[in-house]
Structure 1
């Protein structure tokens, strides 16, 4: 019997980030490791006790709600295990966490985690492809050699975000499906989830977020409202702000707006992607087309041009970049909560102007500025905000900081020189080892000890593959120079380039942006996937804070571009998947209770529907026992296996012989085996059969009682036992249709 236990650590009966512990026998799997942009360390404390037992982490999406806690948990709590994710989750998640850190560091002395912690966490990631099977570990059961059970994980497309994953975790006959924040609908840049293909698992772990939302606004109606609102705002001279995440859902909006700009010839208005990682996000999107929708891949095959090469989308990393672009403009800026990042700075400037428009694109975190604006009662007339900014030091403060920095560098250089001198000391253990290695050599002179010591070249000389000396200095990475003004001195409250004084405002040089699409500014925050520590060499700065009462006169529009399935679709999907047991997580109390009540009333998950609270463990051990047997070589050599889902299946007739030394029963071929009727194995849906028969030229339709009628002569019913009944008039069409039905199954 396989032991399964599930414990929510974060994100149960609430829309907080996701983090859960799944224990399968002796293996502990952490499902996601999310955090909010408030970075409350207390939220992650439940992980501290379980981390020593964790064997691996599975990450489903590349946003803060699913991986935001990894840098802290790895860098400060000491987690050091494999982290499994798809390649886009790695790429876009790394950029997202860079952007999160830089947004915090731009306005505060942020020290909860560092960029080194981000790099360390992502270095632990094992990058997978969809449907790639990975064996995690072997069980410790006392069985015969070679018969230990293994746990296999497999990622499937979740939709909603690039590389988003539904995880299937298999051990013996137990199948656990972890599916959260999925989207069944096909979008512009992504196809829908494959969750509906993972039917009848032993356990489904799914979210309740959005379960009570009903049917959301149709995509065409939503897009029409967005585009019409943007167009009217621009034509009246106003600017538009769309707070959005920095690397995921922003791709859907960027593609939509870029196509609209092209079709409506709106080049006179600016369309800007504004974040610390915007250039790298655009480049990564262009290079990961194989992870996107079939539509985009088909466009690439037909035109040989990359559909993610968004010609009308400009890149900005600083206020100076925005000043170089045509206005009025539409700005896609991070972050959606409006608690940090460029979006918050722009909101403070744009909110007082009634000509401007702010479009809230995702459900807001409780307590955030975006949640205040999205209140059902409407946005308030004003909001009191605590604003922060990093400014360069001046005068005595600057001189003092430079002296301290120079002293620290001098001390570091002295320590490095002492270490180098110690390394070159003849009494050093390394040289003693080298001399020992050289003893006994018959080849002195050119091949002796002298040449061996001389081979330790102290110069950083690199020889290329064709013998040329490579100048490595040309590959030195540039230091990130924080923008001293951040968003100060550049205002959207009045005319196109009106300015507004703020506490601590100082002058700053300009940073021009190229006019062509998706080209990097000169001092791009992130020029690639590598990033030097931005704190070491920049001009000494300090953070200042002040209180401000921000008047809200701009229009506020809420449109859901989060990409999650709506409540009605979630009901249909869970009903179609037919799990034996269901765990409900990640949704507020009302959503969780509604999903549990619906599934129980509909008879979904007949073995139990559960919604454990944070810290509450649920024992989900299988009640059906599986048995291990030993097959003799004489039997296995004659078996013919067929692939059925993730299993190799064969039929045989055998008798039980004496147990082997380990107590396992041995099966031998049955010499008197009678014949058997054909056995059909597979999971086929009536709707799938309808599509197959229609493609074969038959007229097919469903009756009221769910009978698939073909050519008014043959009826196909699916019985409660899962079997198919093919009924009708004995004629050529009957046998042809029956053969098509048979072909959808494996026959034994």
Structure 2
């Protein structure tokens, strides 16, 4: 029996908006990705809210905000409550992406769409899977199976294969790459053959991509010319996705000592830099012969520390690269974590990475010469020309935008864009229109309060404190509730010094009341959880060990620790400001595609090889849709869907199949009969139109109307009895023998009771019973009827 398959496109069709789709298989609804664009378009959330209560599962394909950016908002604010499925790297790196995104916006504005707690709660819902692991859905999804397959593009990227009841397969592949890269294997196209329905990202259907060698040469030339000209090079990349491939590629560049890059610095700037680099542990800067030790690589991102630890690429390891004289700096907000995560995910990477780790036991993402940075100030303190890898690639927020505002007016600098971001972003505008012009940009900052604003803030703080003391006078406690308690509080600066009053009550007995200390000491309490004292791993982390050849052993560097004095300092009051400025772009703008997606020619070949029965084109413009449709017609693929935003398409394989609901009055009147392992009932009903006029709760105005018709009991439900079963006379003979009724076959019919009763099969397949009316006749008829389900 086939399944009813429908697809509702909330976003990610006709244009390059983030992918988000609701796939309905019978009554089970699956949310395919939950992306959000750089502008945080609230109209997308309105469309998602209408379906949020009916979603039964969520499948995430990649770790970047384009595929899961709205997940914290959906779970924390909209109340999405269902299992979320993703691979382990998507879970880990997705957290780093969202931490960096939140911190980047929080640094310059009062960002309140979601909090870090919402991010943690959302990712705690994720069920972590491995490639080729089969998961069976339960409840309404009984019979549906999901299998994650490698997609390339990003670490842990997934192509989902969904098996519906009726032997129908659905392949969801929004972004994939069939080619092997430096740190990733390609997509396994042979696992996608002959699906019933294929949902494919067709954004590159008409895109012609440069060869990898030409792109690498272009990047090297841009870096060399920028550094030798005395300027800085800003490479705009993401937090914990494509930055890994970029870092690994730069490692190969810095290996050549003839490259002349050994006198410069390479920095990675991000909010999570350490985590990303620890997660990836590449080979950058590890070999003395690479020539990279004299340069600084700067990766500017809100998660830079995590990203570079995740990436630990091969840069700076070869002495011949000429990069050993430069310093590699990684600037990020969560850099440490990303690098830690990357170390442990070698099995998710390419076969070359795995063999290198298994053979030499050297982690390919253990960076030594990369300097991790967590603020733009650290970048500016690094002297000389430098290369900085900074997030985000769209230049809408983060460290990349901050450095762009500072470096773009100078002709000696270079800006390298690595991805085609959404239309309307600053990076997309630079790709399409280039530089050497003046543009108007909105600058957002968080600055300290000064002058009258600071005085007003402190006055408000003091007023709030006084109100708190008045509301809770028991805050100053004593050991006695009598009137003899004559202590009073003297407020001096930051401390409340309790002193005794000069008025004392005369008494011949010595008072045993305990007095307060003149200068109170606040003891720091030990933090503990339900299992005891909380252990800090950094207190037991070993220092970095370097062998005689200069290689770093497999010992993780310590995470940046916050000094105790910093915790005691009061928070400096700040405010968010926004203003518009004119920026004259004199720096050289260079677009080098490093997205890691299939090009147009390869995409069309893969569609021809997979040969789906029906295809849905996602995230494709009009030109790309035209090219894809013409190719599908030539290959004999008749059903090609190009839905618009908000449209629901019916992709059911079989025709003339309709979905109806059984009313309670109809179900309660059914009489069930057992037939082997199943139960049957006769149903006589009429189709009733959907109830549009039913009353709805006031907070459910955005819920979609029930457009499914229902079945109501028919007025005249009388019908002739139907016998359901395929009876064999040999089996009936055994049943009669158990009841001491002897039966024999005679000319193809079953004769019993001394020939007075005969049972034979007619030409139309029915069974006829003939004989003399007697007690034996009714006994045989009863046993015969027991072999059927009579409805």
TM-score w.r.t. the length of structure 2 is: 0.63
Q: Which moved more, 1:590-599 or 1:118-127?
A: 590-599
Aligned to 2:366: 309
Deviation, 1:388, is 1.3
Aligned to 2:500: none
Aligned to 2:653: 622
Aligned to 1:500: none
**Match 1:341 to one of 398, 420, 431:** 398
- SS at 2:137's partner residue? strand
- SS at 1:74's partner residue? helix
Question: 2: distance between equivalents of 1:574 and 1:356?
Answer: 43
- SS at 2:628's partner residue? helix
Question: 2: distance between equivalents of 1:163 and 1:411?
Answer: 53
Question: 2: distance between equivalents of 1:368 and 1:269?
Answer: 31
Does residue 16 (structure 1) correspond to residue 17 (structure 2)? The answer is yes
Check whether the contact 2:435–2:587 (CA below 8 A) recurs between aligned residues: no
Question: 1: distance between equivalents of 2:556 and 2:535?
Answer: 27
Question: 2: distance between equivalents of 1:406 and 1:120?
Answer: 35
TM-score w.r.t. the length of structure 1 is: 0.67
Check whether the contact 2:238–2:301 (CA below 8 A) recurs between aligned residues: no
- SS at 1:596's partner residue? helix
Aligned to 2:339: 282
Check whether the contact 1:321–1:521 (CA below 8 A) recurs between aligned residues: no
Question: 2: distance between equivalents of 1:127 and 1:418?
Answer: 50
Aligned to 1:218: 211
Distance 1:670 1:363, change over 3 A: farther
Question: 1: distance between equivalents of 2:30 and 2:594?
Answer: 31
Check whether the contact 1:62–1:89 (CA below 8 A) recurs between aligned residues: yes
Aligned to 1:209: 203
Q: Which has the larger radius of gyration?
A: 2
Does residue 184 (structure 1) correspond to residue 178 (structure 2)? The answer is yes
Encode CA deviations 1:474-532: one digit per residue, 9 max, x unaligned.
6899xxxxxxxxxxxxxxxxxxxxxxxxxxxxxxxxxxxxxx9996784689xxxxxxx
Unaligned runs of 5+ in 2: 258-290, 306-336, 478-524, 540-553, 658-673, 682-723, 731-791
Does residue 7 (structure 1) correspond to residue 8 (structure 2)? The answer is yes
**Match 1:578 to one of 584, 593, 611:** 611
- SS at 1:161's partner residue? coil
Does residue 228 (structure 1) correspond to residue 228 (structure 2)? The answer is no
Aligned to 1:610: 641
Question: 2: distance between equivalents of 1:59 and 1:101?
Answer: 20
Aligned to 1:99: 100
Number of aligned residues? 541
Aligned to 2:410: 353
- SS at 2:248's partner residue? helix
Aligned to 2:157: 164
Distance 1:87 1:416, change over 3 A: farther
- SS at 2:630's partner residue? helix
Distance 1:299 1:667, change over 3 A: farther
Q: Which moved more, 1:592-601 or 1:361-370?
A: 592-601
Check whether the contact 1:57–1:84 (CA below 8 A) recurs between aligned residues: yes
- SS at 2:51's partner residue? helix
Aligned to 2:446: 390
Does residue 270 (structure 1) correspond to residue 270 (structure 2)? The answer is no
Aligned to 1:540: 573
Deviation, 1:416, is 11
Superposed CA RMSD: 3.5
**Match 1:662 to one of 662, 674, 679:** 679
Does residue 555 (structure 1) correspond to residue 588 (structure 2)? The answer is yes
Check whether the contact 1:27–1:137 (CA below 8 A) recurs between aligned residues: no
Question: 2: distance between equivalents of 1:326 and 1:517?
Answer: 29
Encode CA deviations 1:673-712: one digit per residue, 9 max, x unaligned.
xxxxxxxxxxxxxxxxxxxxxxxxxxxxxxxxxxxxxxxx
Question: 2: distance between equivalents of 1:559 and 1:192?
Answer: 21
Question: 1: distance between equivalents of 2:726 and 2:468?
Answer: 72
Aligned to 2:193: 199
1:11-160 maps to which residues of 2 (within 5 A)?
Answer: 11-139=12-140, 149-160=142-153
Question: 2: distance between equivalents of 1:409 and 1:209?
Answer: 57
Question: 1: distance between equivalents of 2:214 and 2:97?
Answer: 30
Distance 1:524 1:591, change over 3 A: farther
Aligned to 1:297: 354
Question: 2: distance between equivalents of 1:381 and 1:342?
Answer: 22
Question: 1: distance between equivalents of 2:411 and 2:109?
Answer: 30
- SS at 1:371's partner residue? helix
Deviation, 1:77, is 1.4
1:355-394 maps to which residues of 2 (within 5 A)?
Answer: 355-375=412-432, 377-394=433-450
Encode CA deviations 1:424-483: one digit per residue, 9 max, x unaligned.
xxxxxxxxxxxxxxxxxxxxxxxxxxxxxxxxxxx9786999xxxx65496899xxxxxx
